[in-house]
Amino acid sequence: MSHAYWWYFALIYLSGVMAATSIGRITPVSVDLENDLGLSLGQVGLVASSVTAVAAVLGLAVSVALRPLDPRRTLIGGLVVMGLAGLLVSRADGFPLLLGGRLVESMGYVVVVIAAPVLILGLGDDERRTVALAVWGTFMPVGLALGAFGGGLLSAGFGWRTSLVVAAAATLAVAGAALYLPGTGARQAGPEPEGPADGAVATESRAGDGDGPGGRWARARRLARPVALGAGFATISATIVTFVALYPTYLHDEFDVPTAAAGTLTGSVSFAGVAGGFAASVLLRRGARMKYLFTAALLMPVGAFAAFGSTGGLGISMTSAVLIAVTNELVVATVFAALPLVVRTSADVGMANGLVAQLGSVGSLAGPPLVGLVVTAADGWWAVGPTLLVGCAVGVVLLRAAVGRGQQT
């Protein structure tokens, strides 16, 4: 059973990785899109970021809509939608069709990232699921790196349309492999998770179905921990996406690193952060308390002070950038591992994951422009560190509140 468990998990993880490649695969072909389709830089940026649009606007609504459905079928359906939309994007001859295809792809993306953790819980086994959820939290940097580097190699050798066709075909192939996952109903998504320390799981879950003031208050309490987890995750997402968005420009401005090389260095640093996710899985397995791992998020602004400090040279800046990436993945992995701990019943895991996906996407979209405005107003890169410190401090408070005083892995 152990081998089957990890085989099934690998398929689910690969599904998430393929979803994440959709975010990174536009970056290496952006110049080709500008030249071949006559797009502006702003249009290319919108095409690149639009794959998270549905998650940012409708993440919670999609999770509620998917709740009665078999998560295996929804995962496969999401991958199929992404694959077919990717084929459409590869044939686009202008901005409207390109953006439309990406928005359809975004619908598949949010379905995959919501259904996958529910499926992981459906595999059962309390001891292994914490490790599996922590490892699942690394799907984003792995997918981003695969999309950026793999897409770059394919587009350089065969053109941007071929690179997108190959990515779409790979996504459809993973959808076919996912047919071998065990089927399960959404309301049979694994054992009941541990509830809050007060032990009021069953009572509050039933009370939440009422329509009176008491029922509304119970529903609010039922959502409190997932909302806190998602809001805290938003600050973490904003931090890492801000770093990825601004660091290449900083390297170019401060150290005269060529633009292409700066992007490659930033991508390499982001991928190195995967080590943090696996470190989290080991620490959680050994009984580390989640609230302490969440507190490690404060190391990200510490790293930002040095990475964007314009002192100490390129080596110090790059080392500090790695600290940001590794710490980010450690915290992200812990967020996903905390999902079964912040809900009242296992049936609510999809809802909690929808909140995390939606609020995390909001943070990803809002972080770079907000920090960019602060840097412009302060007239210096030094402002990145203090700005991220405020956001991460708020995030740590929210994340620690989400898991509560009495909860532990």
What pLDDT is recorded for position 149? 77
Burial annotation 195-214 (CB, 10 A radius, 16+ → b, else e)? bbeeeebeebbebbeeeeee
Q: Which of 16-30, 155-169, 184-198 has the lowest mean pLDDT?
A: 184-198
How far, in Å, are 167, 200, 352 from residue 203 at the CA level? Answer: 47, 6, 19
Q: What is the largest CA-CA distance in the chain?
A: 63
Per-residue pLDDT of 308-366, as tens digits, reads: 987 888 999 999 999 999 999 999 999 999 988 898 777 777 788 888 988 988 888 78
Looking up tokens 């950026």 gives 148
What is the pLDDT, as a whole number, of residue 202?
A: 34
pLDDT band at 125 (very low <50, low <70, confident <90, very high): low
Share the mean pLDDT of the chain: 84
pLDDT (0 to 100) of residue 126: 67
Tokens of 87: 């084929």
Q: Which segments of 212-336 are extended strands (E)? A: none
CB neighbours of 331 closer than 8 A, spacing ≥ 6?
A: 236, 276, 280, 293, 294, 296, 297, 399
Position 41 confidence tier, pLDDT thresholds 50, 70, 90: low
CA atoms of 409 and 198, how far apart (whole Å): 16
The residue among 58, 161, 149 whose CA lies nearest residue 109 is 58
Secondary structure class of 209 (helix, strand, coil) = coil
How far is the C-alpha of 84 from the C-alpha of 93, rounded, in Å? 17
pLDDT greater than 70 at residue 192: no
pLDDT of 333 reads: 92
Residue 135 reports pLDDT greater than 70: yes
Distances (CA, A) of 318 to 17, 248, 255: 25, 11, 11
The pLDDT of residue 359 is: 92
- pLDDT for the residue numbered 59: 86
Tens digits of residue pLDDT in 260-276: 677 778 878 888 889 99
Q: Tell me the average pLDDT across 17-35.
A: 82
- The structure's pTM equals 0.79
In this prediction, residues 102-106 reach a mean pLDDT of: 92
Do the Cβ atoms of 22 and 147 come closer than 8 Å? yes
Contact 46, 96 (CB under 8 A): no
CB contact set of 39 (below 8 Å; sequence gap of 6+): 33, 47, 95, 98
CA distance 251 to 316: 12
Give the CA radius of gyration of the chain.
21
Quick check: 206 pLDDT over 50?
no
**Beta-carbon count within 10 A of 302 CB:** 17
Say how many C-beta atoms besides its own lie within 10 A of residue 10's C-beta: 12
Q: CA separation (Å) from 405 to 190, 196, 198, 219, 342?
A: 24, 9, 10, 21, 12
Chain-centre distance of CA 349, in angstroms?
16
Q: Residue 183 pLDDT more than 70? A: no
Average pLDDT over residues 182-200: 45
In the block, tokens 């998504």 appear at: 189
Q: Quick one: what percent of the chain has pLDDT higher than 90?
A: 39
Q: How far apart are CA 21 and CA 266, in angstroms?
A: 16
Least Cα distance to 290 among 407, 137, 139 occurs for 407
* Lowest-confidence pick of 47-56, 70-79, 166-175, 181-190: 181-190
Question: pLDDT band at residue 219, thresholds of 50, 70 and 90?
Answer: low
For residue 159, pLDDT over 70 is answered with yes
- Please state, in angstroms and rounded to a whole number, the distance separating the CA atoms of residues 28 and 324: 23
Torsion over CA: 223, 351, 145, 376 (sign): negative
Q: What is the pLDDT of residue 327?
A: 96
pLDDT of residue 147 exceeding 50: yes
**3, 341, 185, 52 alpha-carbon torsion, rounded to 10°:** -90
Instruction: Give residue-wise pLDDT tens across range 245-259.
Output: 788 888 888 999 886
**Backbone torsion region of residue 229, taken as left when φ is above 0, otherwise alpha when ψ lies between -120 and 50, otherwise beta:** alpha
Given a cut of 70, whether residue 201 has pLDDT beyond it is: no
**pLDDT value of position 109:** 92
pLDDT of 195 higher than 70:
no
